[in-house]
């Protein structure tokens, strides 16, 4: 499928040192311009900028939006492309690049650009987070939403440390939680209720890079896989981590696996639990999370799914 006009959104702070990032963007643009009539490069200028750029691209007649950056920048662009017919292509250049791992893209942005003619459009569902306060637009996610433990890590993460250390910064922030008591909250799904300290609503098999938590869903599935962790102490999460590495997480009695199209979450204490969407902070409970079918066109390798 040929494209006449594309917009490349890139995060100038994603994944590499400044000079290296500039060279990667330059080389990727050379490749793209050999394949597409017009490619406009638009840098993000801060958090949330990719959403507005993607919306402007759609209104301006672009027939393809590309994102060169990490999962957070991609997620922002998704919020500008939801419910449009303009496809999204991803050139991985961030910290974890979970999407690249999920669909089988190379983690090198230039190699991913070279693959563009061989990528196929797939219409996928998106997750949607709605919060009653403060009022505003819903937050879409394409990979996962986490409520509780992992969102608490994202909330407390030092942006400079993340830029300097990458994925290691998340690990250090996670280990800093050991010994602490975690916020509990209630999850309601189809009339059933659970209390937990971490709920993962995922549309992706991959989690945090090379880990796999979900057992049945992928980006093409019509529902979310829900994984509920009940432990009150953060130290218990060391056992969860060991079980995840061993492939036996589903055997633990305080971990529940479900599939659902909608879940509602309510706080159960004075400090409401945090929410993250595709690795970016997304507020606090209460909230609902649901799947929105047929919401985005994503370009993926033909082998995916």
Residue whose C-alpha is closest to residue 180's, from 159, 165, 197? 197
Residue 35: alpha-carbon gap to chain centroid: 28
Phi, psi of 13, deg, nearest 5: -110, 10
User: In angstroms, what CA-CA distances link 194 with 67, 169, 239, 268?
Assistant: 38, 31, 20, 11
Cβ contacts of 32 within 8 Å, gap of 6 or more: 6, 8, 39, 66, 113, 116
pLDDT in tens, 228-281: 999 988 889 999 989 998 999 999 999 999 999 999 999 998 889 999 999 899
pLDDT computed for residue 130 by the predictor? 96
pLDDT computed for residue 46 by the predictor? 85
Residue whose C-alpha is closest to residue 223's, from 125, 97, 114, 103? 125
Output DSSP code: residue 254: T
User: In angstroms, what CA-CA distances link 251 with 71, 236, 245?
Assistant: 30, 15, 13
Percent of the chain with pLDDT over 90: 70
Phi, psi of 110, deg, nearest 5: -70, -45
9-18, 28-37, 52-61, 104-113: least confidently modelled range: 9-18
pLDDT computed for residue 276 by the predictor? 96
Spatial separation of the C-alpha atoms in residues 14 and 279, rounded to whole Å: 14
pLDDT computed for residue 269 by the predictor? 85
Output DSSP code: residue 272: P
- What is the pTM assigned to this prediction? 0.91
pLDDT computed for residue 17 by the predictor? 65
pLDDT of residue 212 exceeding 90: no
Q: What is the CA radius of gyration of the chain?
A: 19
Count the helices and strands in the chain (H runs, E runs).
Answer: 9, 18
96-110, 136-150, 208-222: least confidently modelled range: 208-222
pLDDT in tens, 41-93: 999 988 899 999 999 999 999 999 999 998 999 999 999 999 999 999 999 98
pLDDT computed for residue 209 by the predictor? 65
pLDDT computed for residue 178 by the predictor? 79
pLDDT of residue 159 exceeding 80: no
**Higher confidence at residue 206 or residue 250?**
250
Q: Give the mean model confidence (pLDDT) for residues 188-216.
A: 90
pLDDT in tens, 168-185: 777 777 878 877 889 999
């Amino acid at each position: 499928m040929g494209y006449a006009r594309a917009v490349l959104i890139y995060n100038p702070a994603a994944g590499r040192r400044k000079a290296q990032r500039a060279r990667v963007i330059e080389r990727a643009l050379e490749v793209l311009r050999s394949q597409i009539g017009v490619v406009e490069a638009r840098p993000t200028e801060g958090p949330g900028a990719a959403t507005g750029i993607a919306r402007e691209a759609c209104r301006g007649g672009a027939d393809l939006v590309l994102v060169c950056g990490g999962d957070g920048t991609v997620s922002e662009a998704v919020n500008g492309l939801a419910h449009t017919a303009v496809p999204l292509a991803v050139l991985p250049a961030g910290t974890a690049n979970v999407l690249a791992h999920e669909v089988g893209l190379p983690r090198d942005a230039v190699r991913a650009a070279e693959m563009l003619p061989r990528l196929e459009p797939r219409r996928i569902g998106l997750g949607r987070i709605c919060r009653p306060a403060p009022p505003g637009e819903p937050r879409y996610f394409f990979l996962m939403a986490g409520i509780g433990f992992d969102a608490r890590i994202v909330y407390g993460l030092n942006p400079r440390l993340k830029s300097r250390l990458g994925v290691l910064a998340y690990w250090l922030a996670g280990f800093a939680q050991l010994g602490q008591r975690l916020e509990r909250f209630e999850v309601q799904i189809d009339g059933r209720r659970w209390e937990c300290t971490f709920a993962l609503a995922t549309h992706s098999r991959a989690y945090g890079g090379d880990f796999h938590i979900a057992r049945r869903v992928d980006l093409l599935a019509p529902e979310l896989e829900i994984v509920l962790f009940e432990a009150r102490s953060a130290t218990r999460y060391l056992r969860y981590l060991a079980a995840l590495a061993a492939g036996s997480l589903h055997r633990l009695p305080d971990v529940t696996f479900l599939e659902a199209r909608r879940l509602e979450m309510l706080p159960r204490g004075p400090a409401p639990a945090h929410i993250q969407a595709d690795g970016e902070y997304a507020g606090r409970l209460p909230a609902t999370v649901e799947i929105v079918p047929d919401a985005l066109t994503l370009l993926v390798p033909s082998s995916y799914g």
